[in-house]
Structure 1
Amino acid sequence: MTAVLPETHTVRPPTREDAQAILELVSAYNTSVIGFADYTLEDAEDELSEPGFDLATDSWLVFDDDRLVGYGAVFGKGDHRDLDIDIVTAEVDVERWLLDRVLDRAAGFAREYGHAAVQVDTVNYQADVARRDRFAGYGFERGTTFHRMRIDHAGQVAAPDVPAGVTVRRGTPDETSQRAAHDVLNAAFDGQFGFTPRPFEEWKASQENHSAFDWSQLTLLELDGEVVAMRLCNDQFVEDEDCGYVGRLAVLEKARGKGLAKFLLRDQFAVDAAAGRTGTILHVDTNNPTPALGVYLSVGMQAVLVMEVWRRQVSA
């Protein structure tokens, strides 16, 4: 049965000028669930300007008179076989209506890209049990659980020794280095939950659209002249947490077991501490086929927030 909005509600696509209103909506919801906003104006602006994201067809704002009460969006990457959806509202009727719009658009993507079906993923704070139960009722199933890991820095942190035979390349703005990082990322994350390989130009544009990112925060590790590991950081958590953020850390399978991941983590701790950051943050899939969670715990990081990914298949 198709959901219907209350008569007082109106709908329109967002514009980039709506970032502040979306910030206020998302912050209010997050604060009600986890006690803090966990979202910034830059986050909203970046989302609305994501390359390939069509505001007119892929997103919706719902108003009660002049008050924003709902936001929904669907984001595709690469071949659009896996889609990310975002629905934020405190009103169950609005949530159901936005979900119908999002799922219909997902089916449209399936047809456009020639897929019989696509997967849609949405993230839910584990603390929001009511929303979790509603999405289960909508036909979603729990896909995996992510932990936000954090380590605090009290003063300076000693830089680790570089592993034997390894060359460290920091701040790599040239295209050759960017392509090497892209290749390592795709190879190392192949088959992991929710990871969609993206063509190089699409991946690069997405990175450069992120206001908290610049290429100076890309670090590569070489063994015998070959790039075998990469770390991609950004300032996403500087404004609200005063922490550095490890967005991606990848090591090729053939180079694992040599301490490269631990080196990259401890090296970033030293970099963040030297910059005066109070800590370093990253996210880890607890169902990761590599022992990533154990690595992060072994270097002193602790889980500070738990999020679940809920997944549903949508037919064309």
Structure 2
Amino acid sequence: MSAVLPDTFTVRPPTKDDAKAVYELVRDYTQAVIGFPDYTLDDAVDELTEPGFEPETDGWLVFDGDSLVGYGSVFGKGEFHVLDIDAVTSDPVVEAYLLGEITRRGRELGAAHGRSSVQLDTGVYRLDTARRERLEAHGYVRGTTFYRMRIDHQAPVPVPEVPAGVVVRRGTPDEQSQRAAHRVVSESFAGQYGFEVRSFEEWRASHEAQSTFDWSGMTLLEIDGKAVAMRECTDGFVEDENCNYIGRLGVLDEARGKGLAKYLLRDQFALDAAAGRSGTLLHVDTNNPTPALGLYLSVGMREFLVIDSVRCKVDV
């Protein structure tokens, strides 16, 4: 059951027209917690218009008079084993209300997709100990920890040599190349924390809806005519940090040990430096079954921000 809000508060679903208000709410929260705004207007627009997100049932705006004081959402993809949720507010009562609504809706989504239970997942900045303690009181436990890794580019970066026998395909403008990228992502990330395999159609629609993504930002590596590795980049951090963002970097099991991941990283560093970017960012799961953290450290990246992923199992 959701917490009861004060009588003066009102709740309604969000629309795209609310993107600026949501952006300002989340921006101010991140500024207060980590010392800089970690959210953009593009982020807000993309969240509210994500294909598959139904704001009428899966989003909540809480107002105190005319002031937006809380924003909540729940979003499922793939087979709906895991639902991504968010509840942003500085008011614990509003937070409890949003978590209650999210849990209720999460059960409905799980039932609609034949699940007996679902995992509700969200991220918490390591610095936000108060929020993490409140979420723990609502039954959330830490699932893993993500590091935001960064490397700065203050001078030209050497272009790495392409590994022997590898063909580099820059951009995935057609369905055939996009399907190849989707296959590499699905196979290389299967079983990793929070990853939900999505159909090609769902995956493509999600990418095409992102304001900071273009298919030119996808790179494939081929061996003997088969795509065995991929790198996906977006402009999600260009506006606020002038940094490129590597959203996915995957290598199939059969192609590991050939230096492909290290090549993809160094290649992107060179591209970003040449484009005048201040740096390159990515997130890494510190419990990743592959030694990803060691790889990123070995090419000069450093830990920039720590985000704990917490989850709550909800029976449907």
Query: Structure 1, residues 249-272: CA drift from partner, whole Å, max 9, x if none?
Result: 000011111100000000000010
CA-CA distance at 1:7 after TM superposition: 1.3
Q: Helix, strand or coil: the match of 1:43?
A: helix
| Within-5 A mapping of 1:53-92 | 53-92=53-92
CA-CA distance at 1:154 after TM superposition: 1.0
Match of 2:14 in 1: 14
Query: Does 2:190 align with 1:190?
Result: yes
Q: Distance in 1 between matches of 2:154 and 2:98?
A: 45
Structure 1 stretches of 4+ moved >2 Å: none
Checking the alignment, whether the CA contact within 8 Å between 2:246 and 2:282 is kept in structure 1 is: yes
In structure 2, runs of 5+ residues without a counterpart are: none
Q: Helix, strand or coil: the match of 1:236?
A: strand
Q: Helix, strand or coil: the match of 2:236?
A: coil
Question: Residue type of the partner of 2:148?
Answer: R
Q: Helix, strand or coil: the match of 2:306?
A: strand
Q: Distance in 2 between matches of 1:117 and 1:279?
A: 41
Match of 1:297 in 2: 297
Q: Helix, strand or coil: the match of 1:235?
A: strand
CA-CA distance at 1:2 after TM superposition: 3.9
Q: Helix, strand or coil: the match of 1:164?
A: coil
CA-CA distance at 1:201 after TM superposition: 0.5
Q: Distance in 2 between matches of 1:311 and 1:172?
A: 34
Match of 2:165 in 1: 165
CA-CA distance at 1:296 after TM superposition: 0.3
RMSD of aligned Cα (Å): 0.7
Q: Distance in 1 between matches of 2:313 and 2:271?
A: 42
Q: Helix, strand or coil: the match of 2:73?
A: strand
Q: Distance in 1 between matches of 2:55 and 2:35?
A: 30
In structure 1, runs of 5+ residues without a counterpart are: none
Match of 2:254 in 1: 254
CA-CA distance at 1:303 after TM superposition: 0.6
Q: How many residues get paired?
A: 316
Q: Distance in 1 between matches of 2:172 and 2:205?
A: 16
Match of 2:144 in 1: 144
CA-CA distance at 1:196 after TM superposition: 0.1
Q: Helix, strand or coil: the match of 2:176?
A: helix
TM-score w.r.t. the length of structure 1 is: 0.99
Match of 1:208 in 2: 208
Q: Distance in 2 between matches of 1:274 and 1:175?
A: 29
Question: Residue type of the partner of 2:19?
Answer: A
CA-CA distance at 1:155 after TM superposition: 2.1
Q: Distance in 1 between matches of 2:110 and 2:304?
A: 36
